[in-house]
Structure 1
Amino acid sequence: MFSVPAFQNEWYSRNMYVKDSLAYDYERAVYGPQSKFGYKNFIPKFTMAKFNPKAWAALFKRAGARYVVPVAEHCDGFPEYNSKFTLWDASRMGPKQDLVAELEKAVRADGMRFGVSSHRAEHWWWYNPGTKYHSDVDNPRYAGLYGPAEPMNLPGVRSRGEPNPNQLQDWRPPS
């Protein structure tokens, strides 16, 4: 979904809430304050009107790919599939399509293997910068997208906080 604002990179959804960042300044200049227009407001604009999974699969095959592993859920907390963990996903909002399932079908039909990458485990801290001032991140109506927005606590990073256990109930490391 970060392609909608088409500014910088896939970290836009986080950086648009980081004061004094280029994304923060861009967001305010183009869309207004984050309290009125947040990342959630890009969802209706994320239509995927030209999405053609068969063409994608054909391109991957021509490039010599034997397997395809897209990011099914970026840290932004908006799964590109029909998720059982949130109502904020591409099958219910935006394009209203299970983009991952459609791509998987096309890739497998072309004889390639298919897997997915998920960055959901990082979602708990992704929107934390938006809690430091008045923004839509603090609005409980949008908790399904923005998650707990806890402070990051990583080795070597000076910060406080840890993942909310409820956020990680659905995630288990491979055994």
Structure 2
Amino acid sequence: MPMRSWFSDAKLGIFVHYGIYAVEGVPESWAFYTGQVSHEQYMKQLGGFTAARYDPRGWAALFARAGARYAVLTARHHDGVALWDTEHGDLDVVRRTPAGRDLVGPYATALREQGLRVGLYYSHSDWNHPDYASVLHPSPSPTHQDVLTSRWVAPRGGVEDPEAWARYLAYRDGQVGELVDRYRPDLLWFDGEWERAEEQWGTDALAARVLGAHPDTVCNARLIGHGDYATPEQGVPLRAPDGPWELCLTVNDSWGFQPGDTNHKSVRQLVRYFAETIGTGGNLLLGVGPREDGTVTDEQAERLEGLGAWIAAHSEAVYGTVAGLPAGHHYGPSTLSADRRTLYLFCFDPPREYVAVRGLRNRVKRVSVVGTGAPLAHRVVGGLHDVPGVAWIDAPASRDVDAYATVLALELDGELDVYEGTGRT
């Protein structure tokens, strides 16, 4: 399945975990799976979910100011509670909560009004569905052995019921079909795939249903066998995954709203995560968790605004770029313009005296500070035969140093050409 070009160019998305779990501020779905709260207590949150101040246009405007080009909303998490009026079952916020209305449609409309791409999260698993715990995973990974024993996943006594499983797949496919037909998402973000094997999930039929309706839909790799991109979570990979990818990262430590979680990452940290991610060719999907009434906390909004201000000041080094230098050529991440003739160096600490670039075969025509345009002197020292010297760039004046990350633009005499050899031995 070919990747759509908009995704790799987007750089930043916002991951919105919104559901009944925000009522008491407990972990989304996992709270009853792990026994942190009883299933009864968890489901009682249905009665407190009001969405009283739900303002998707406000969300979309905030996401746009953050510099995002898409967002992903948890249309249905593992708890099975749908944010739209599904015709497959009745566990949705329209019928079962005071919110009493479809929350997905207004979200999709608001994003499109801001020019943002619409993403919807949907979990393959549903720990509330009566037919879900009906078959066993044939060979789960060592880290997911609980799927063989959990009452929410495994059939009682290990006795499988293929007919029940077929009913479950029809339910899942029906709900995904509703999302595709009603809201025409640009992206579907699947989850829960670890609980069954690929053949059990029937992903061939599901992918055909999605792409048959909208061939340009982007899907993550958790649509096993048919995904477009990888989704590592909560830490920048030391080696970028092969092909397109996206780092999923929370602003604090929680996906959904948890009032006791005050461990918010600073704007400086978010800028660093973002730069390191796009510097190795990925997107950042930054997670926020609105309160049950639909409002985003001030702490999270302020961080989105701060990241967005930095991106706006350095947009030429962000949008329309690809991964930059291999590791070791510059002590920090870098990006490269689409024509491969402008190299952008990210400096997290204020440069002192010089910034050095190793292994650059190109002649550097000009160096300037992104955002201020200040020119910087540069020279090449050393080099012998086919081994290029080191390009030394004068550090910018303090007035041109950014509070979070300074970016230098190197205009090259041709497409980027780097040396990665061992030298004369």
Counterpart in the other structure of 1:150: 133
2:121 matched to 1:117?
yes
The SS at the match of 1:79 is coil
Query: Does the Cα contact within 8 Å between 2:70 and 2:118 map onto a contact in 1?
Result: yes
User: Within 5 A, what are the aligned runs for 1:155-170?
Assistant: 155-156=139-140, 157=145, 159=148, 160=158, 161=160, 164-170=165-171
2:9 matched to 1:5?
no
Counterpart in the other structure of 2:95: 92
Farther off after superposition, 84-93 or 151-160: 151-160
- Amino acid of the residue matched to residue 3 of structure 1? A
CA–CA distance in 2 between the matches of 1:76 and 1:9?
Answer: 8
Query: Does the Cα contact within 8 Å between 2:135 and 2:165 map onto a contact in 1?
Result: no
Equivalent position to 1:41, from 41, 44, 54: 44
TM-score by length of 2: 0.30
The SS at the match of 1:169 is helix
Counterpart in the other structure of 1:62: 65
TM-score by length of 1: 0.68
Structure 2 residue runs without a partner (length 5+):
1-19, 149-157, 174-204, 209-425
The SS at the match of 1:115 is strand
2:85 matched to 1:82?
yes
Counterpart in the other structure of 1:174: 207
Relative distance call for 1:59 and 1:151 in structure 2 (3 A) is: same
- Amino acid of the residue matched to residue 109 of structure 2? K
Q: Report how many aligned residue pairs link the two structures.
A: 138
- Amino acid of the residue matched to residue 103 of structure 2? L
Counterpart in the other structure of 1:136: none
The structural deviation recorded for 1:9 is 4.5
Query: Does the Cα contact within 8 Å between 1:2 and 1:10 map onto a contact in 2?
Result: yes
CA–CA distance in 2 between the matches of 1:52 and 1:44?
Answer: 20
- Amino acid of the residue matched to residue 69 of structure 1? V
The structural deviation recorded for 1:118 is 0.7
Relative distance call for 1:151 and 1:169 in structure 2 (3 A) is: closer
The structural deviation recorded for 1:8 is 3.9
User: Which has the larger Rg?
Assistant: 2
Query: Does the Cα contact within 8 Å between 2:76 and 2:122 map onto a contact in 1?
Result: yes
List structure 1 segments (4+ residues) > 2 angstroms apart after TM superposition: 7-10, 37-40, 146-149, 151-158, 160-163
Relative distance call for 1:69 and 1:148 in structure 2 (3 A) is: same
Relative distance call for 1:104 and 1:91 in structure 2 (3 A) is: same
CA–CA distance in 2 between the matches of 1:149 and 1:5?
Answer: 26
Counterpart in the other structure of 2:53: 50
The structural deviation recorded for 1:52 is 0.9
Relative distance call for 1:38 and 1:148 in structure 2 (3 A) is: farther
Relative distance call for 1:60 and 1:9 in structure 2 (3 A) is: same
- Amino acid of the residue matched to residue 86 of structure 1? G
Query: Does the Cα contact within 8 Å between 1:2 and 1:13 map onto a contact in 2?
Result: no
The structural deviation recorded for 1:147 is 2.8
Relative distance call for 1:69 and 1:166 in structure 2 (3 A) is: same
CA–CA distance in 1 between the matches of 2:52 and 2:116?
Answer: 25
CA RMSD of aligned residues (A): 2.3
* Structure with the largest fraction of strand: 2
The structural deviation recorded for 1:46 is 0.7
* Structure with the largest fraction of helix: 1
- Amino acid of the residue matched to residue 39 of structure 1? Y
CA–CA distance in 2 between the matches of 1:152 and 1:164?
Answer: 7
Bigger relative contact order (CA 8 A; separation at least 6): 1
Relative distance call for 1:76 and 1:8 in structure 2 (3 A) is: closer
